[in-house]
Amino acid sequence: MSQPEQLKNTKIQTIAAEDGRRWYSTISPEQWRTLIAAMLGWMLDAMDFVLYVMALTTLQKEFKYSSDIAGLLSSVALVTSAFGAMVFGVLADRVGRTRALMATIITYSLCSLGTATSQNFVQLMIWRGLLGLGLGGEWSSGAALVSETWPAEHRGKAIGIMQSGWAIGYMLAALLTAAILPTLGWRWLFVIGVLPALVVFWIRKGVPEPPVWAEQPKPKSRGKNPLADILGRDLIARTVKATLVTGLVMFGYWGLFTWLPAFLESPVERGGAGLGIVKSMGWIIPMQAGAFFGYLSFGFVSDRIGRRPAFIVYLIGAAILVPIYGQMARSPLALMALGPLLGFFGHGYFSLFGVMLAEIYPTRARATGQGFVYSTGRALSALGPYTIGAIAANRGLGSALALTSFFFLAGALMVLTLPEGRGQKLA
């Protein structure tokens, strides 16, 4: 979009807001296409990533590896996703948000297809590790693309809509697994994972680079490396604080949601819910439906009351619900009723990161900052599942899960050290 066109759109959106039109009617077709592209990328990213979780038992039987090795494969993808977020974040700042987004989609799509060709455990681990690169990179490039394209007063809504794609992708993976795994087998399940690559052709044709990025100096004249920039004197304090917020919250998240299925399945004497083996669809769909509305609503709430207040409200909600869910709810009816609420508050706050991190970093290093903070926080959170598991061995799963409330509350307090960016124009 040229500068005159950008000014024209801004003027139209301002006039529309003044005459009382609904917010969505003020968004240009180009801005909607940008959001749809980022949301599809994140949704299909989730689908490809979660397919492994859904096929876990089948793969264990196929390649004859134990549960701890199965967990290692999940950890490999998370570790490489942290690396991918940093690599593609720098790439997005150097060559463009749209180009980096397309590269990440191609990466995780082809790696899903590669997973289908695995003949042994080592090949499976390599493909999972490579897929993780695309997982981490898609978020950092997509979040920067949306943040820089949408108007400031609706930026939170846009990021919330984009983030909700994860819940849709999660549910889509569950449905595909139920339809394909029992009939065609696990290899065809991962073959389906290559289809997201087709989205790239549409993105290449219909989604331009954000004007705020395009108007920056060319890569060779931009000065220092953006990674050095976010760790430099001017931005290091924000980087450290934002990383701590992300790490604390993700520690609670992964500690909670890694062990929730085991909690539901485990007997009461071990601190579980005593439900036996719960069908994946019966647990995933209600919880992820709540997560979808949590992601979506956070954007609207944060645009109304501010990023920090919204974040605190959602985290307090999660902190209250976790001990109730883990220690008081035992009947299937109570667990089913509380599941969507826990999904809502336990996921919704993730929509903060895309918008908050965009608002605390300048354009020259925005995608790098987003990728670094998000990926480093995810790496710090890797201790969450282990810590909760270790405590559960002595105190039971219900009591161990309640510990995650502390990390949610700590994250809520830590976010107060970061600036409020609601309505801020990106520079």
pLDDT tens digits, one per residue of 152-203: 888 888 889 998 898 899 888 888 888 888 889 899 999 998 988 888 888 8
Residue 217 lies in a domain: no
CB 252 within 8 Å of CB 411: yes
Same domain for 271 and 149: no
Same domain for 81 and 59: yes
Residue 296 lies in a domain: yes
Residue ending a domain, choose from 186, 209, 232: 209
Residue 7 lies in a domain: yes
Q: Report pLDDT digits (tens) over 216-237.
A: 765 554 556 777 778 888 889 9
pLDDT confidence tier of residue 319, bands split at 50, 70 and 90: very high
Q: How many domains does the chain contain in total?
A: 2
Residue 187 lies in a domain: yes
Q: Report pLDDT digits (tens) over 375-385.
A: 888 878 777 77
- How confident is the model at residue 136, as a pLDDT? 80
Q: For residue 415, what are the CA distances in angstroms to 295, 352, 355? A: 18, 10, 13
- How confident is the model at residue 76, as a pLDDT? 79
Question: Which residue has better confidence, 58 or 75?
Answer: 58
Tokens 């089948």 identify what position?
58
Residue 215 lies in a domain: no
pLDDT (mean) for 121-128: 88
Same domain for 167 and 105: yes
- How confident is the model at residue 249, as a pLDDT? 93
pLDDT confidence tier of residue 279, bands split at 50, 70 and 90: very low
Same domain for 204 and 64: yes
pTM comes to 0.78
Residue 88 lies in a domain: yes
Question: Which residue has better confidence, 323 or 72?
Answer: 323
Same domain for 71 and 33: yes
Residue 424 lies in a domain: no
Residue ending a domain, choose from 209, 233, 252: 209
Same domain for 238 and 186: no
Q: Residue 213 above 80 pLDDT?
A: no
Residue 406: domain span: 223-419
CB 397 within 8 Å of CB 262: yes
Convert 272-283 to b/e letters by CB count within 10 Å (16 or more is b). bbbbeebeeeeb
| CA gap 94, 102 in Å, rounded | 14
Question: Which residue has better confidence, 388 or 349?
Answer: 349
Average confidence score pLDDT of the chain: 81
What contacts 296, CB < 8 A, 6 or more positions away?
Answer: 160, 161, 164, 351
Q: For residue 34, what are the CA distances in angstroms to 64, 97, 266? A: 44, 11, 44
Same domain for 363 and 248: yes
Tokens 């060709």 identify what position?
117
- How confident is the model at residue 318, as a pLDDT? 94
Same domain for 201 and 230: no
CATH of residue 292: 1.20.1250.20
pLDDT (mean) for 298-318: 93
Residue ending a domain, choose from 166, 181, 209: 209
- How confident is the model at residue 15, as a pLDDT? 46
- How confident is the model at residue 221, as a pLDDT? 45
Same domain for 343 and 384: yes
pLDDT confidence tier of residue 283, bands split at 50, 70 and 90: low
Tally the C-alpha atoms within 13 A of residue 360's C-alpha that lie toward its C-beta.
27
The two structure tokens encoding residue 268: 């009461």
Residue 426 lies in a domain: no
Same domain for 231 and 200: no
| CA gap 322, 349 in Å, rounded | 15
Same domain for 171 and 82: yes
The two structure tokens encoding residue 34: 């940008």
Same domain for 131 and 49: yes
pLDDT confidence tier of residue 128, bands split at 50, 70 and 90: confident
Question: Which residue has better confidence, 269 or 411?
Answer: 411
Angle at 263 between CA 275 and CA 63, to 5 degrees: 95
